[in-house]
Amino acid sequence: MIYLDQAATTAVRREVLEAMWPYLTAEFGNPSSHHEVGEAAERGLTDARARVAAALGVRASEVVFTSGGTEAANLAIKGIVLASTRGRHIVTSAIEHPAVLESCDYLERFHGAEVTVLPVDADGLVDPVAFTAALRDDTALATIMYANNEIGTVQPIAELAALAHARGVPFHTDAVQAAGWLPIDLHTLGADALSLSGHKLGAPKGIGALAVRARIPLEPVIHGGGQERGRRSGTENVAGAVALATALDLVPSSVARAGEVAALRDRFIDRVLSTVPDARLTGSRMHRLPGHASFCFPGTSGESVLLGLEARGIVCSSGSACAAGSDEPSDVLLAIGLTPEIAQTAVRFTFGSEITEAELDEVARELVDSVAAVRSLG
Ligand code: PLP
């Protein structure tokens, strides 16, 4: 099987599993317990927090472990907006993950927030001029994703964060898809808050983190025993935290191959566009995640192409995992200007740094036949 759905999730890496194992067995303690077993777990958590903080260029106290990217984004958006003294206006984009858009919607419905949803261009890029124009004196937060899960487009985060800061507006980025490939330290990005998810990086599902600068007031979303300095209650997932730290330690080796992977991706994209009649790339050609190629194949249905490829041993996706199975066309694809009919024909290939040229050549070959087979059924 060739697995090309890394944007949905990744397998747990061996090094990650080995690092977690002691915290699921001998060192199983509750880090809040004042005995030997608890203290061993506490040491594991402290060490994991320091490593995650180092990867993100923040202080250990600025890392909040969460259950994943969705919770991290919820905490960033609800937490920063509800604690803000500036007002309740939020600036975001039309192609954000539902974790962001639904959090904004919740604040609008229950907390009097006003949300400006910026459109994107045909490549999926936010216009920095429109972004600046949307910022107001009562803007509590600007939240723009680093890289899009469906179309792979990478936003100019450092530029947008600087524009937000020029107006005194805190800036959050959902870096869930970018984390395996692009710089995620808050210094380089100039962001105030950044959300991460372990399962996109070779850690298990159910662990993530929010990095948030100490100067940014944050209202907790989950209340209880006051763990994570009161910002996220609940007994800590020590093994998960160790897994996330270990996965982040391994990221530099995939980043080192990013240029090579981007070259393989470009070759694959060119080959698909030249061999599959009427194929269209979705997302930006230039500003794109290295391991991401997404297309529309007019005259097909994405689901049928996907099933055809699966029968040939190739696993990919017809859109985002969250929208998969839904009959509705993707909001992201509509936002970049595709019609609902074309949006239904989307297929996404996402891969990690271990991808080979031979694998992508095989996928490109099988894709020609799969698309032709679906079109012939008419
Ligand atoms: N943000 C983006 C861009 C994603 O792609 C995802 C997951 O697909 C999430 C947030 C949510 O992360 P999690 O699955 O860890 O809740």
Tell me the pLDDT tens digit for each residue of 14-38: 999 999 999 999 999 999 999 999 9
Amino acid (one-letter) located at 367: L
Residue 231 and residue 242: Cα distance in Å, rounded?
19
- For residue 256, how many other CB atoms are within 10 A of its CB? 10
Q: What is the pLDDT of residue 293?
A: 98
Strand 280-281 vs strand 292-296: parallel, antiparallel, or unpaired?
antiparallel
258: tokens are: 């990013």
> How far away, in angstroms, is 255 Cα from ligand 1 center?
20
Tell me the pLDDT tens digit for each residue of 54-97: 999 999 999 999 999 999 999 999 999 999 999 999 999 999 99
Residue 319 above 90 pLDDT?
no
Q: Considering only CA atoms, which of 305, 278, 282, 304 is closest in space to residue 295? A: 282
Angle of the 69-83 helix axis to the 98-111 helix axis, nearest 10: 30
Q: Considering only CA atoms, which of 46, 40, 73 is closest in space to residue 61? A: 46
Tell me the pLDDT tens digit for each residue of 128-182: 999 999 999 999 999 999 999 999 999 999 999 999 999 999 999 999 999 999 9
Query: pLDDT above 70 covers what percent of the chain?
Result: 98
Q: What is the pLDDT of residue 326?
A: 61
> How far away, in angstroms, is 70 Cα from ligand 1 center?
6
User: What backbone torsions phi and psi does residue 193 show, to the nearest 5 degrees?
Assistant: -150, 145
Taking the CA atoms of residue 16, residue 21, residue 24 and residue 25 in that order, the dihedral angle to the nearest 10 degrees is: -170
pLDDT band at 247 (very low <50, low <70, confident <90, very high): very high
DSSP 8-class letter at 230 = G
Tell me the pLDDT tens digit for each residue of 104-139: 999 999 999 999 999 999 999 999 999 999 999 999
Distances (CA, A) of 66 to 220, 237, 306: 12, 8, 33
Q: What is the pLDDT of residue 323?
A: 52
Tell me the pLDDT tens digit for each residue of 254-264: 899 999 999 99
pLDDT band at 9 (very low <50, low <70, confident <90, very high): very high
Q: Which residue ranges have their beta carbon within 6 Å of ligand 1?
A: 68-70, 73, 97, 99, 145, 149, 174, 176-177, 197, 199, 208, 321
Q: What is the pLDDT of residue 320?
A: 54
How confident is the model over 235-256, as a mean pLDDT? 96
How confident is the model over 184-204, as a mean pLDDT? 97
Ligand 1: residue whose CA is nearest its atom 13: 69
Q: Which atom of ligand 1 is nearest to the CA of 320?
A: 8
Q: What is the pLDDT of residue 75?
A: 99
How confident is the model over 212-236, as a mean pLDDT? 98
Distances (CA, A) of 338 to 123, 124, 335: 11, 11, 7
Residue 203 above 70 pLDDT?
yes
Q: What is the pLDDT of residue 328?
A: 82
Q: What is the pLDDT of residue 220?
A: 98
> Please, are residues 113 and 256 in contact by the beta-carbon 8 Å criterion?
no
pTM summary value: 0.97
